[in-house]
Amino acid sequence: MEERGTRLEGKVAIVTGAGATGEAEFVGIGQAISLLFTRQGAKVILVDRDERNAQITLSQIENEGGEASVFVGDVTNLESCQAMTEAAVQTYGKLNVLINNVGISGPGSVTDVAEDFWDTVMDVNLKSVMLTSKFAIPEMIKDGGGSIVNLSSIVGLRAGGGRPSHAYAASKGGILGLSNSMAVHYGRDNIRVNSIAPGHVYSPMVARHTDQELLDLRRRAGPLGFDGTAWDVAYAILFLASDEARWISGVTLPVDAGLLAATPLAMFPYLTGQE
Ligand SMILES: NC(=O)c1ccc[n+]([C@@H]2O[C@H](COP(=O)([O-])OP(=O)(O)OC[C@H]3O[C@@H](n4cnc5c(N)ncnc54)[C@H](O)[C@@H]3O)[C@@H](O)[C@H]2O)c1
């Protein structure tokens, strides 16, 4: 039986990209966040452009006795972003928490990326944070403040391995700069804005697109040496969303098995030799 509690009791949250991308306990990050939030008493608007995926997350939540609603929409669309905040207020009376989880990637360095694809990644990953926040923040202020958590990546701080995805890196770095400025400029409104930098998470999306050799290297690159899942990321977000983090704003929290603490040489023996 899943753990239940009251850490988000009385809160209304929007989670973008909340649709199911995996199966059973092997869940995507947005799905894990939504399940943990409702287990801790929040009412959640499950935003996804894929209705089927969102409905799966909803039925999991309802089976557990939690409360949530599906909002089908695209986070790159201004009207959708306005309507999702309106849905929160109309359905549950207010809005306290916004989790900008949607993110896409794809290969391409600056010398070979198609301009259209660059723009799409920027729109989905970075512009969406502005669009959702534009409508969420005024509603949060009406209820005395709120918490925004934006999903960046370790790739927003350091170059990633494998094939380059420069648009992804730029968008995830942009999220950090934007989050810091939002934290400062809405601080007196009691709006907290923090970022999460997930590392080599073993998520359904990653499992689908990565071969076994690379999956193994991703795991070995972390000082802890074992795989992290969407649940590990979701637990960090639960803390930042809750009032337990009421004095924490403008931070970037890596959830990465210690990867950012290590130089490449520090991990060399673990990547090349016996573990
Ligand atoms: N999985 C990892 O290893 C990893 C590592 C670093 C950062 N991240 C970040 O974590 C976040 C979640 O990643 P994930 O792979 O677990 O995905 P996820 O499983 O949380 O699913 C993403 C969901 O977003 C939805 N979506 C995509 N584009 C959308 C749009 N324009 N509007 C509305 N919904 C949309 C998809 O339908 C899908 O249901 C992303 O921002 C990603 O960049 C993931």
Q: pLDDT tens digit string along 51-108?
A: 999 999 999 999 999 999 999 999 999 999 999 999 999 999 999 999 999 999 999 9
- pLDDT of 1: 58
Q: Is 215 in the pocket of ligand 1 (CB under 6 A)?
A: no
User: 54 CB contacts (<8 Å, ≥6 apart)?
Assistant: 18, 19, 20, 46, 47, 48, 70, 71, 72
Q: Is residue 238 predicted with pLDDT exceeding 90?
A: yes
Q: What is the pLDDT of residue 176?
A: 98
Q: Which numbered atom of ligand 1 lies nearest the CA of 104?
A: 43
The closest alpha carbon to 268, from 216, 223, 201, 204, belongs to 223
Classify residue 94 by its DSSP letter.
-
151 lines ligand 1 (CB under 6 A): yes
Active site residue 270: no
Domains for the chain: give ranges and CATH numbers: 12-272 (3.40.50.720)
Look at 46 and 208; give whichever has higher pLDDT: 46
pLDDT in tens, 127-158: 999 999 999 999 999 999 999 999 999 999 99
DSSP, residue by residue, 133-150: HHHHHHHHHHTT-EEEEE
User: For residue 53, how far is its CA from the centre of ligand 1 (angstroms)?
Assistant: 12
